[in-house]
Structure 1
Amino acid sequence: MVPPPVTRGLLRAVFGLPGPVKRLIAGAPVRLDGQRLDLDAQLLLRMTRLEGGHLAAPTVEEARRGLRRGQSYLDRVPARPVRTRDVDAGGVPARLYTPKGLPAGSPLLVFYHGGGWVIGGLDTHDTVCRYLAVHADVRVLSVAYRLAPEHRYPAATEDAVAAYEWAVANAGTLDADPAAVAVGGDSAGGNLAAVVGLLAERRPDFALLFYPAADLTVRRRSRELFADGFYLTDDDMTWFRDHYCPDEERRADPAASPLLAEDLSGFPATYLVTAGFDPLRDEGEAFARRLAEAGVPVAARRQDDLVHGFVNMWPLGGRFREALSEAAGALRTGLRAGPPKRQG
């Protein structure tokens, strides 16, 4: 019932407090699996519990409203202006982000938002796309793929591939370099980016994967360790999976669970980052290991003091922003200092 501007002001005030005061509010340090939770992450979790603390909800629309409301509290944008415009990416709605002063012929990131394939959208990940555009010095095409349960698997994967292939074919009209097109996304969006890396006829030049959902068939140890209390819960993931892919037999499809693909050898060079206190940690890291075993250049990074969803939390500063900044640097380097660019 509190208006978003009031909540935003409260968040800024609390996170601006001295460390000892924040510790009093957050409680005793949390240590689990040899990791210590970042103070600001713990503080945010404490405040999130005041609003219920779960991404899933009794109805899909309630869950969508909850995520939109939560993101409205984190509306900070980078200082460098970013121009946006709506784009029809081969029949899939999308939004193009272009930082001020970025010359034509820049690299392009095709980005897929998180939200369990059920919630989330262009607006919930607007600040993330702006940050990546500015700090990686790239254009970003954010894709509004169809959501479940209105459009179940494989609708999202079809949209993800279609938007990427349209972006490659039309890079020139976006003032982007057709030989430097990356895919990226967080959580469910990381899953879709991985699927594009597997299925696209013209493979991406780089993949930026934030804590991707990689396997819908197995509950690994991290699902047990961090089942509740760390933003994304085990129950949330079950709720998302059941809405997205209710057909149990299809969950083993590589287009649903890219970790189960037989051959990963053609996958693009990758920066894959997980969060230490995240139910999806172990499956993301298993995917990184499989990429390395297949000979794919992969930088696997665990931000061991953070939680799922940290990319959306960067406006709070601290470790959230540090982690996203590191990923932006990896994207910038991967697209500009990687293997020789293919032509055409």
Structure 2
Amino acid sequence: MALLPALLLLLLPLAALAVALAAVLLGLPSYDIPPGVNQPAKLRLVLAVLLGTAALGKILEKTGLCSQITFGRYVRQGRKLGVDPKLFIQDLQFNKVPVRVYQPKATSDGRRRDTYEKVCRYISRESESVVVSVQYRLAPEHKYPAAYEDCLNATIHFMKNIEHYGVDPANVIVCGDSAGGNLAAAVSQTLAGRSDLPRLRAQILIYPGLQALDFNLPSYQQNRGVPLLFRERAAFFALQYLNGDALHMQEVLEGSHIPPDMRLKYRKWVSPDNIPEKFKVRGVKPLRPTDFIAEVYETVKRFCEPNLCPLLAEDAIVHQLPESFILTCEYDVLRDDGLLYKKRLEDNGVRVTWYHLEDGFHGIISLYDYCGFSFPAGKRGLDSVVSFLKSL
């Protein structure tokens, strides 16, 4: 579809505001903003903008001006940042994968490296790290394993050419948030047994999505209607990444997509029994088993691959993983993915630093310094990442 014309760009702020106001009046009462969440009024405003953006994107798609996905990505980019006097920033290609490299202009020798899609400038500046943001191919245009392969290839390229960036080979770190946390975990597992590359110093996983077997874990039940990631959207995005569409989403939400024997095999790792009781006080409803549908499984069976769902990796891989930092948010459907992986790592002797935002929600860190939508809890979470980096 055609790119957005200049005239439309001038009208977008007013149109988006109008649609956002309509979303406040019509849509928001049906969404759950728990009383303990960080700054609920501001979060409601963020949700209104997101709903407005989605509604306007549908209008633009119907008129043929641009696709809803293109418009959503355009809005999420936010304002273009100016030059940062403390950073040297380059757009490069690592093994044909576009990356953006952030390097502090004045720093000590033996700098660290951090693969992170968002708030890269802050992390690079505050931790005096070289940060490489991998611009991996996006779903649904590019299905699994495109994004994983891009991240893996870019990481390997960097590690093989590390001398060009003044980075200590012993201080290479992978990092990601949400879907990026999934990719960072998958890359870390793939590199765990490589003897031809430096060993990763650490992995940083910020509210990562790590499994697609069970969308009824306690956090998925408790936070199903909490922005910025709803339970249904978590399944939607997983299916979009896997197949480029969201067919059979209801069956996946109900759990009909995994054979009983496979569900039993992975229950030792993916089970509410492995979630500490204090995270169940907001209520967990026992669910009756659903009938397995073989036809659905055939379309999603790659959900059982560790490169797509890292929580399912075998112990032989997990125990080789580097020191880890995991950040979780109380009001996040993906909270339990992080908690389950924390347990798996610790059970396999991997040192884990865990930081939990009691008043946080999914995506809170990515809102740091974004159009006035920052949250104090997000800044605390971001600073915890920086502190971890400095401690290594």
TM range (shorter): 0.7 to 0.9
- Rounded Cα–Cα distance in structure 2 between residues aligned with 1:179 and 1:288: 23
Instruction: Rate the CA distance shift 1:109–1:47 in 2: closer, same or farther, 3 A.
Output: closer
1:62 corresponds to which letter in structure 2?
Q
Task: Confirm or deny: 8 A CA contact 1:184 1:209 kept in the other structure.
Answer: yes
Task: Confirm or deny: 8 A CA contact 2:203 2:322 kept in the other structure.
Answer: yes
| 1:112-131 aligned within 5 A | 113=117, 125=118, 128-131=119-122
Give structure 2 stretches of 5+ with no counterpart: 1-7, 18-27, 244-298
Range that drifts further, 223-232 or 133-142 = 223-232
Residue number in structure 1 paired with 2:270 = none
Task: Confirm or deny: 8 A CA contact 2:355 2:384 kept in the other structure.
Answer: no
Residue number in structure 2 paired with 1:321 = 379
Residue number in structure 2 paired with 1:205 = 201
- Rounded Cα–Cα distance in structure 2 between residues aligned with 1:253 and 1:93: 26
Instruction: Rate the CA distance shift 1:193–1:65 in 2: closer, same or farther, 3 A.
Output: same
Task: Deviation per CA, 1:317-343: give whole Å up to 9, x if none.
Answer: 522212201111112212xxxxxxxxx
Instruction: Rate the CA distance shift 1:196–1:50 in 2: closer, same or farther, 3 A.
Output: closer
Instruction: Rate the CA distance shift 1:208–1:251 in 2: closer, same or farther, 3 A.
Output: same
Matched, 1:109 2:109: no
Task: Confirm or deny: 8 A CA contact 2:33 2:44 kept in the other structure.
Answer: no
Identity of aligned residues (%): 29
Residue number in structure 1 paired with 2:334 = 280
- Rounded Cα–Cα distance in structure 2 between residues aligned with 1:206 and 1:318: 26
Residue number in structure 2 paired with 1:267 = 321
| 1:131-210 aligned within 5 A | 131-200=122-191, 201=194, 202=197, 203-210=199-206
Instruction: Rate the CA distance shift 1:82–1:191 in 2: closer, same or farther, 3 A.
Output: same
- Rounded Cα–Cα distance in structure 2 between residues aligned with 1:172 and 1:160: 20
Matched, 1:303 2:352: no
Aligned-partner SS, 1:72: coil
Aligned-partner SS, 1:204: coil
Instruction: Rate the CA distance shift 1:236–1:317 in 2: closer, same or farther, 3 A.
Output: closer
Structure whose CA Rg is larger: 2
Residue number in structure 1 paired with 2:37 = 37
- Rounded Cα–Cα distance in structure 2 between residues aligned with 1:81 and 1:6: 32
- Rounded Cα–Cα distance in structure 2 between residues aligned with 1:331 and 1:146: 27
Task: Deviation per CA, 1:245-288: give whole Å up to 9, x if none.
Answer: 13411001010111011121011101100111111111111111
Residue number in structure 1 paired with 2:47 = 48
Matched length: 297
Range that drifts further, 160-169 or 80-89 = 80-89
Aligned-partner SS, 2:137: coil
How far off its partner does 1:48 sit? Answer: 2.7
How far off its partner does 1:45 sit? Answer: 2.9
Task: Confirm or deny: 8 A CA contact 2:203 2:324 kept in the other structure.
Answer: yes
Structure 1 counterpart of 2:94, from 77, 89, 100: 89
Task: Deviation per CA, 1:279-307: give whole Å up to 9, x if none.
Answer: 11111111111111110000122112011
Range that drifts further, 175-184 or 50-59 = 50-59
Task: Confirm or deny: 8 A CA contact 2:38 2:375 kept in the other structure.
Answer: no
Give the TM-score taking structure 1 as reference length: 0.77
Matched, 1:245 2:242: yes
Instruction: Rate the CA distance shift 1:88–1:305 in 2: closer, same or farther, 3 A.
Output: same
- Rounded Cα–Cα distance in structure 1 between residues aligned with 2:210 and 2:108: 35
Instruction: Rate the CA distance shift 1:240–1:229 in 2: closer, same or farther, 3 A.
Output: same
Residue number in structure 1 paired with 2:224 = 227
Task: Confirm or deny: 8 A CA contact 1:54 1:231 kept in the other structure.
Answer: no
Instruction: Rate the CA distance shift 1:55–1:308 in 2: closer, same or farther, 3 A.
Output: farther
Range that drifts further, 164-173 or 317-326 = 317-326
- Rounded Cα–Cα distance in structure 2 between residues aligned with 1:77 and 1:36: 36
1:133 corresponds to which letter in structure 2?
S
Give structure 1 stretches of 5+ with no counterpart: 11-25, 114-124, 335-344
How far off its partner does 1:62 sit? Answer: 1.7
Task: Confirm or deny: 8 A CA contact 1:78 1:131 kept in the other structure.
Answer: no
Task: Deviation per CA, 1:225-246: give whole Å up to 9, x if none.
Answer: 2112321111221221111113
1:38 corresponds to which letter in structure 2?
N
Instruction: Rate the CA distance shift 1:53–1:309 in 2: closer, same or farther, 3 A.
Output: farther
Instruction: Rate the CA distance shift 1:301–1:251 in 2: closer, same or farther, 3 A.
Output: same
How far off its partner does 1:104 sit? Answer: 4.7
- Rounded Cα–Cα distance in structure 1 between residues aligned with 2:68 and 2:365: 23
- Rounded Cα–Cα distance in structure 2 between residues aligned with 1:284 and 1:329: 19
Residue number in structure 2 paired with 1:117 = none
Aligned-partner SS, 1:330: helix
Task: Confirm or deny: 8 A CA contact 1:152 1:244 kept in the other structure.
Answer: yes
Aligned-partner SS, 2:328: strand
How far off its partner does 1:67 sit? Answer: 4.2
- Rounded Cα–Cα distance in structure 1 between residues aligned with 2:303 and 2:348: 23
